[in-house]
Structure 1
Amino acid sequence: MRRSGIRRSGIRRSVIHRAVLATAAVALAAGCTAQAGGAGGGAGGTVSPAPTSASAAPGSSAPSTGATPSGDDKPSSPAPTASATSEKPQPKVLMGDGSESEQVRELQARLRQIGYFDRAPTGFYGTMTAGAVKSFQKKRELPQTGSVDEVTWQKLVAMTHRPTADELKPSTTNKLDTPDPRCMTGRVLCISKESRTLAWMIDGKVVSSMDVRFGSENTPTREGTFSVGWKAKKWTSTIYHTPMPYAMFFSGGQAVHYSADFAARGYNGASHGCVNVRDKAKLADLFEQVKVGDKVVVHW
């Protein structure tokens, strides 16, 4: 009986062993089918492998292995931010070469107030305006661009006052200088060789003004205090045979009169000693106001 029991026990262990081997073979076959078939799998679909001890359960963090990445697996340096790579923003340019506007006229008037622009504002931004702006920028230790940016404009505005109508559109291209003391009383044609202007003044007040041109070195305009000796609305020089409209004679043959040549060529020419005026309309109006006997002062 004992020998028979041992035999049956051995048979049972053999059957169990064969069953375990058969189960393992089926499991192995199922795993190969999933790998070969990929997402498509076999007829029974994909079999998911059992999670390993390193796999993270849903909702949990993956365990750290403690290994240090190497080669291409090393973490790259963080990309620089925009603030680190972008350059410092430049001030916005408001006016520059070729600009033409009322703001340019204001710019020129403000520069003129502090001695950087020596003529009447035109509203056009050319080389002379650019040069004046550069000089202003250099004095204030700003970048010498010759263009007006927001920083340059704010500094200029802070140093000057809002231009008046006469400063924006003065009656002469050339800036009037301080009147000679002899011009401060009575009715006077106050003529400055320094500023090349004529100011019609009554009791120290400038009523009107205009640009003028003088004689050359060979035929200079005389300086001093004179008076209007006589007037001629239409006159032609008896020496040079050239027209002298609206002539007001003050010293021999020298007179204040309109000059078409001055109007056309500006200061590239000169008179034969007379005081030339290039604004015909202004002079025509002045001619009607001036009386014989009114004072004339020609000075530097």
Structure 2
Amino acid sequence: MARFSMNRRGRTVAYTMAGTVLAPLLAGLGAAPAQAASGSWCGGARGPYQKQAEKFLGRKADGKQSQGDCRAIRAFQVSHAIHPQYGYAGPVTWKMMKVVKPQRDARNNPNRAGRCPTNRGRIACVDLTRQISWIQDGRHLVKRPVPVRTGRNGNETRTGLHRIFWKHKNHVSSLYHVSMPYSQFFDGGEAFHAISGSVWSAPGSHGCVNMRTADAKAYWKLLSTGDDVFVYGRKPGT
């Protein structure tokens, strides 16, 4: 049973419960975040986009939350910095899946529409619409598309044909005072470079093409001063 007392404002408040009820409840609430962080726990709730999430993840799309579904959704949330990370297929998770789907679909043939030039030799292509970049040499795909984060509204990454004119591996922005590892500048202060946060996070960069560290390292090795960069499309929301 609960026991009651009067607080200083004269309100009746419960201050204890039988240990058989309160202790397991507190233990469960305390354990959940730790278990979630380790990947051993899932919320188990069925979200409004359960079936869509299952289909996106290649699981049985029956709209019923299983432990396997929950863990798969949670893994997606962890890899894309979505919080909370409890395997719940809510609107934020589904919105991110819709962003990632065209990036994933472009994997083997990102230049299917022929928007990026194929007559300039090695060139880094940046599609603002799909928020992806890849490297090709003629029609040969040198580096498969990777997700990028381009300029936010008001600081859009400039479109058109550019050329890498300076590389600085350990660059620090003199304007924003932030680290820009593996910087490769192609238009004024705009550059390919790594960031420590998520490339899927809003609202976007100040014009640079932000990349995951592994992708920025790969671009650093594959591109040289003088190589072309072609930026086209329009980032959603700009």
TM-score by length of 2: 0.53
Aligned to 1:217: 153
Aligned to 1:293: 226
After superposition, the C-alpha distances for 1:214-235 in whole angstroms (9 at most, x for unaligned) are 1112211100001111111110
Measured after TM superposition, the shift of residue 256 of structure 1 is 0.8
Aligned to 2:89: 127
Q: Tell me, in whole angstroms, the C-alpha distance in 2 between the residues paired with 1:94 and 1:275.
A: 35
**2:208 aligned to which of 249, 274, 278:** 274
Partners of 1:184 and 1:203 within 8 A in 2: yes
Measured after TM superposition, the shift of residue 241 of structure 1 is 0.7
**2:125 aligned to which of 171, 190, 202:** 190
After superposition, the C-alpha distances for 1:233-268 in whole angstroms (9 at most, x for unaligned) are 1100111111110111000110011112335xx232
Task: Sort the Cα spacing of 1:99 and 1:294 in 2 relative to 1 into closer, same or farther, 3 A.
Answer: farther
**Identical aligned pairs, as a percentage?**
25
Q: Tell me, in whole angstroms, the C-alpha distance in 1 between the residues paired with 2:124 and 2:216.
A: 12
The one-letter amino acid of 2:155's match is: T
Local SS of the residue matching 1:246: strand
Q: Tell me, in whole angstroms, the C-alpha distance in 1 between the residues paired with 2:217 and 2:192.
A: 11
1:1-300 paired onto structure 2 within 5 Å: 96-98=64-66, 100=68, 127=89, 174-176=104-106, 177=110, 178=112, 180-185=114-119, 186-208=121-143, 209-263=145-199, 266-277=200-211, 279-300=212-233
Task: Sort the Cα spacing of 1:250 and 1:244 in 2 relative to 1 into closer, same or farther, 3 A.
Answer: same
Task: Sort the Cα spacing of 1:260 and 1:199 in 2 relative to 1 into closer, same or farther, 3 A.
Answer: same
Task: Sort the Cα spacing of 1:259 and 1:126 in 2 relative to 1 into closer, same or farther, 3 A.
Answer: same
Partners of 2:190 and 2:209 within 8 A in 1: yes
Q: Tell me, in whole angstroms, the C-alpha distance in 2 between the residues paired with 1:223 and 1:298.
A: 5
Q: Tell me, in whole angstroms, the C-alpha distance in 1 between the residues paired with 2:201 and 2:157.
A: 15
Q: Tell me, in whole angstroms, the C-alpha distance in 2 between the residues paired with 1:189 and 1:260.
A: 22
Partners of 2:103 and 2:130 within 8 A in 1: no
Local SS of the residue matching 1:261: coil
Measured after TM superposition, the shift of residue 174 of structure 1 is 4.5
Task: Sort the Cα spacing of 1:98 and 1:204 in 2 relative to 1 into closer, same or farther, 3 A.
Answer: farther
Larger of the two Rg values belongs to structure: 1
Local SS of the residue matching 2:167: strand
The one-letter amino acid of 1:229's match is: F
Q: Tell me, in whole angstroms, the C-alpha distance in 2 between the residues paired with 1:287 and 1:214.
A: 18
TM-score by length of 1: 0.43
The one-letter amino acid of 1:127's match is: A
Q: Tell me, in whole angstroms, the C-alpha distance in 2 between the residues paired with 1:271 and 1:98.
A: 38
Aligned to 2:35: none
Partners of 2:103 and 2:131 within 8 A in 1: no
Q: Identify, as 1 or 2, the structure richer in helix.
A: 1
| Bigger relative CO (Cα 8 Å, ≥ 6 apart) | 2
Local SS of the residue matching 2:65: coil
Measured after TM superposition, the shift of residue 175 of structure 1 is 3.7
Local SS of the residue matching 1:100: helix
Number of equivalenced pairs? 147
Local SS of the residue matching 2:179: coil
Measured after TM superposition, the shift of residue 207 of structure 1 is 2.2
After superposition, the C-alpha distances for 1:153-201 in whole angstroms (9 at most, x for unaligned) are xxxxxxxxxxxxxxxxx9x954435354443231010000111000111
* Higher mean displacement: 188-197 or 254-263: 254-263
Q: Identify, as 1 or 2, the structure richer in strand.
A: 2
Task: Sort the Cα spacing of 1:287 and 1:222 in 2 relative to 1 into closer, same or farther, 3 A.
Answer: same
